[in-house]
Every structure is written in structure tokens, then in C-alpha cells.
Amino acid sequence: MPPNRPSLAPLDGTRHDILIVGGGISGCSAAQHLAAAGYSVLLVEKGDFASAATGRSSRLLHCGLRYLAPARSPVEFLVRPDKLWTALSMAVRSLRTRREFLAASPDRLRVLDMAIPVYRGAAYPGWQVDLGAAMLGALNLGGPPLNYWRRKPDRAAADHPLVARLREPETLASVFGFRDYQFHWPERISIDAAMAAERHGAVLRNYTEATALEPLPGGGWRAVLKDSLAPGTPAAVEGRMLLNLAGVWVDEVNRKAAPTSPPSRKIVVVKGAHIAVRLPDECRGFGIAGLNTEGEHIFCLPWGDLHYIGPTETVYEGDLEDVRPDEADIAFLLEEVNHMMPALDLKRDDVELAWAGARPITYDPERAKGRRMPFSVLHDLGREGMGDALAVTWAAIMFHRPTARKLVKRVRAALRPSGPPVPVSYAVEGFPENTNAPPLIADCPDITTATLRHVAEREHPAHLTDILFRRTGLGWRTQVPEEAARRAAESVADILGWDEARVAREVEGYLAHVRAQHLQD
């Protein structure tokens, strides 16, 4: 166990206002907001923070335009005003979230100008898109500009190299575009929230599993915790309220808490895979989106010197602990992007990176791939026999703050906090600027050995993979060679208590992770 990692022993027998199971973006943000609201919070995550679906997203902070698109025709909104209300609500929520995140955390975002083709005979003619953009503009209420435009195909192609590579240009009616934003890397958003939660007084435990959950006679919950990094005596803790924010494990946690009569099914697991490729230099910085041959969204978006393409949409029934891209995913995405832009003519050898995640989409027996709208559905499990318990399904990273605020509101209606509230902090603690510390990789001069030591000391990593992917994002930005991975492990060895043999295991573990989860040699 790392020398700076506290044992479970001090937690044994403690009682907290809120027990959160799940340390993805929902759990970390909920801990941040609830702790600021005055609640004593204990968050447990059986892996590392943000190590599952959170870090496998499409990384988009949408403006909300796509939510105003009916499935077939605008008449659908007239016949079903409830659908129009949901669409407008989602659009307003997107604009508000976008405005707030840009104001509070602009350094965690990059600008993304998106182009979308409109083909003749398509479900959405240009005038309908213009109408949706006008509605969105009216709802924006002083937020960052949408930068919406619609042009004739030849003019758009002259300005946008990906438009110039679209299939069947003679059937293009127009091309429209708008400004979106992209998270630098989603795991960092969770780590930021987790560290803010800790500053507000929350107790955080990664690599700690709630092996048993049981209701208490007078209300609340008892949990038995096991530390996977230091096997030994478990700890028993109590919480006045249980928040099941375990993502794709939501149903599993519910069954653990109520084995004889668990709540009804809450999620369907859908696998989303992406690939990253290197396009011609003139395409750098340009993004494009559309529908694939199955009528589902497909993106080709810039990511540093690369572009990533995805996602797939596959109902997943495999091992939730080991969700990875496979050759079928890659073949599908290559086929789809080549159908969309045949001039690219991408091959398997062009794929430099891949990733896949399992998404906890809200279960709907009438929809094989779950109910997609709205996002972040809050379930009161007390209505199904699990008193003092809430769960969230289909949590999108872009909505993590409003979802956390909704949880705070629901919790306040049930119990008073044990401490005084303080303003919630969205301040981000930056990495140290140590000009004397050497960069780990020359092409990424901002990530130095001082950076690695900083996160090792402060942000609860247990493995090299935790540091290089989730804390610093270096693994997303570049292929870290074995020699650099070894230098990284050696630079934090004294902090994390790694001897020479453990350093070697961490390096091999990192390289094995990259081979298995990202298909990099």
C-alpha cells in the first residue's frame, strides 16, 4: 500500500450523512456538491476514480442543437408536445451547462467547430436546421455564441477539408456548422471534482469496494468496505443515505443492497468504441459529424495531431471489468468513416489508438439500446423498497454539475446536513511550474517529473496507469515508450513506496494496459 494512503481502520464504525458508491464523474461531482452543502460524505470506488465509462466518452460539451431534431418530421413535435418539451428542456440545459462550464473551467476545454452535411432527401432539410438554430439562439440568453452557419456545398468544401472529402458531393444540398467545445480529457474533470470534494471535507476511497450493503433498522445504510490495495480487516461504516452512482454497476449494487427483492432493472449497457487516426495535415483542427448507415451519430473530431472517430452503439453483455475495443469495432468504424468520406480511404494500419467504454443507458423494455432522452435520470429507490437510497442512470459528463445539484436538492428534502454549507468550489489546482524538472517526453513539455510527483502526492493514484492517463492525460496525448514509462515510475517510487521490482511491474502494467485497452503496440 502506498505510504501516503490511509488504512481503512480509522473509518471502521464511523457514521456519515451520505455514502456514495461509485467514483466516476457522477460520484465525484455529487461528493463535491454535497460536501459543500454541509453533508459529511464518504465516497468509495472499487477501481480508480473515472476509470470506467467516464474516461471513454466522446468528450463533447454540446450546444444542444441535435436535441431539437425530431426523429422524422417537425410534425412529430406538434403531435407529441411532450417530445417538444423534452427537446427544448435538453437544449436549454445544454446551453446553461455550456455557459457555466466555460465561465468556471475554461482551461479544461478546447474550441471545436463542427460541420454537418445535409443531403437531398435527408430527414432534416436545411430550413429545418436553420429553424432549430434560430430557436437555440433565442434560448442562448447571452451565452457564448453558437457561430452557426449554413453554406452551399462548394463554398463549404473550399473552407473545410473534411467537407471536400464527403461522399456523393453532387447530392449534397448544403452544409451547416456551429461551435461546440471538447473536454481535454474527461478523467481530469472527475479528478478535479474529487479533489474539490476532499477540500470541502469529503472522505474519498478509490480501490475500495463496498462488499456488502444492508439497511439499518432506524433508517440509513451499513456498508462493509474492503481495500483491494491492502487486503486485511474490512471496515464497517454507516450512512444516513445511500447514493448508488455506480454507472454500469447500478443494478449490481442494487442487488447487493436488496438481494431478496431488488429494484427493477435500471440500465442497459451499450458499448461505445472509438478509433484515432492521423489525417492529412490540412484536416488538422477540423471536425465533422453525421449519421452512419444505421442512422446513428458518427463523429470525426480533432484530437491534437490526430482525429478520433466513433462511437459504435452495441448492446454489451460481456465482462464489465474489461471493456475494450475489438477488431469488429475497428472494422465497423473504418467502414463507416470511409462511407462518409471515401476520399480518406482509411485502412487498419492507419489506426493509431482505440478505446471503448460501457455506458449505463436508462433501461426501457421498448428500446433495445435504452432510452436516450433525458440524460441523468434520478431514481428514488425508496419507492421500490430501498429506503433512503437514490440512483442515477445515463449520466453524461457534460451534465455532471446540474445532476449533482439535483441530487443535493433531493437529499435536502430528506435530511438536514450535519455541518454548515459553504459555496461550492470549482477552482482547479494547477500543476506545478518547475522549469528545472525535465519533461517526461520532449513533445509534451508541460508534463514534467515535478508534475508526476505532484499528482502522486496529492491525488490518490495507486498505479502508473492512474498517473499517466487519468491524472496527467499524457497517455491520451502521445504513445509513452517503455523507457519514458520507466522514468515516470522511478520519479514517483519514493512517494508511492515502490521498490525496483514494483517499478518494473508498474511499467509492464502500463504497457499491457495500452496494448489491451488501446490496441497500441
pLDDT attached to residue 71: 57
pLDDT confidence bin for 77, thresholds 50/70/90: low
pLDDT attached to residue 74: 62
CB 53 within 8 A of CB 435: no
pLDDT attached to residue 149: 95
Distant-in-sequence, close-in-space partners of 79: CB < 8 Å, separation ≥ 6: none
Q: Count CA atoms closer than 13 A to 409's CA, side-chain side.
A: 7
pLDDT confidence bin for 403, thresholds 50/70/90: very high
Give the whole-angstrom CA distance, residue 220 versus residue 287: 48
pLDDT at residue 415 above 60? yes
For 317-327, b where at least 16 C-beta lie within 10 A, e where not — what string? eeebeebbbbe
According to DSSP, the residues that pair with 299 across neighbouring strands are 289, 310
Give the whole-angstrom CA distance, residue 167 versus residue 333: 16
pLDDT at residue 26 above 70? yes
pLDDT attached to residue 75: 62
pLDDT confidence bin for 1, thresholds 50/70/90: low
Over the chain, what is the mean pLDDT? 93
pLDDT at residue 277 above 90? yes
Q: Count CA atoms closer than 13 A to 13's CA, side-chain side.
A: 2
CB 49 within 8 A of CB 20: no
For the chain, the 3-state helix, strand and coil shares in percent, each to the nearest 5, are 40, 25, 35
Copy the grid coordinates of residue 426. Answer: 470549482
Percent of the chain exceeding pLDDT 70 equals 97
pLDDT attached to residue 481: 96
Q: Count other Cβ atoms within 10 Å, centred on residue 134.
A: 11
Q: Kindly state the average pLDDT of the residues 503-517.
A: 97
Give the whole-angstrom CA distance, residue 2 versus residue 230: 9
According to DSSP, the residues that pair with 183 across neighbouring strands are 109
pLDDT confidence bin for 72, thresholds 50/70/90: low
Copy the grid coordinates of residue 351. Answer: 489506426
pLDDT attached to residue 70: 60
Copy the grid coordinates of residue 88. Answer: 427544448
CB 393 within 8 A of CB 410: no
**Rounded to an integer, what is the distance from CA 488 to the centroid of its chain?**
25
Spell out the domain ranges in the chain.
103-183+268-356, 449-518
Q: What is the pLDDT of residues 195-220, one digit of tens each?
A: 999 999 999 999 999 999 999 999 99
11 phi, psi to nearest 5 deg:
-80, -20
pLDDT at residue 54 above 70? yes
pLDDT confidence bin for 414, thresholds 50/70/90: very high
Give the whole-angstrom CA distance, residue 363 versus residue 244: 16
Give the whole-angstrom CA distance, residue 475 versus residue 51: 13
Please identify which residue in the block is written with the cell numbers 444540398: 173
pLDDT attached to residue 73: 58
Give the whole-angstrom CA distance, residue 252 versus residue 212: 11
Assess if CATH 3.30.9.10 describes domain 103-183+268-356: yes
pLDDT attached to residue 194: 97
pLDDT confidence bin for 85, thresholds 50/70/90: confident
Query: Looking at this protein, which amino acid is placed at residue 158?
Result: A
**Rounded to an integer, what is the distance from CA 293 to the centroid of its chain?**
26
- Determine the 3-state secondary structure of 383 from DSSP: helix
CB 425 within 8 A of CB 200: yes
Q: Kindly state the average pLDDT of the residues 398-419.
A: 97
Q: What is the dihedral of CA 466, 469, 57, 268, to 10 degrees?
A: -30
Q: Count other Cβ atoms within 10 Å, centred on residue 438.
A: 12
**Range of lowest pLDDT (87-91, 184-188, 359-363):** 87-91
pLDDT at residue 381 above 60? yes
Question: Nearest CA to 253 among 232, 239, 267, 240?
Answer: 267
Give the whole-angstrom CA distance, residue 122 versus residue 399: 30
Q: Kindly state the average pLDDT of the residues 445-464.
A: 95
Give the whole-angstrom CA distance, residue 38 versus residue 32: 10
Copy the grid coordinates of residue 207. Answer: 480501490
pLDDT at residue 81 above 80? no
Query: Looking at this protein, which amino acid is placed at residue 402?
Result: P
Give the whole-angstrom CA distance, residue 298 versus residue 309: 7
CB 517 within 8 A of CB 324: yes
Q: What is the pLDDT of residues 295-349, one digit of tens each?
A: 899 999 999 899 999 999 999 999 999 999 999 999 999 999 999 999 999 999 9
pLDDT confidence bin for 55, thresholds 50/70/90: confident
Q: Kindly state the average pLDDT of the residues 511-516.
A: 96
pLDDT at residue 142 above 90? no
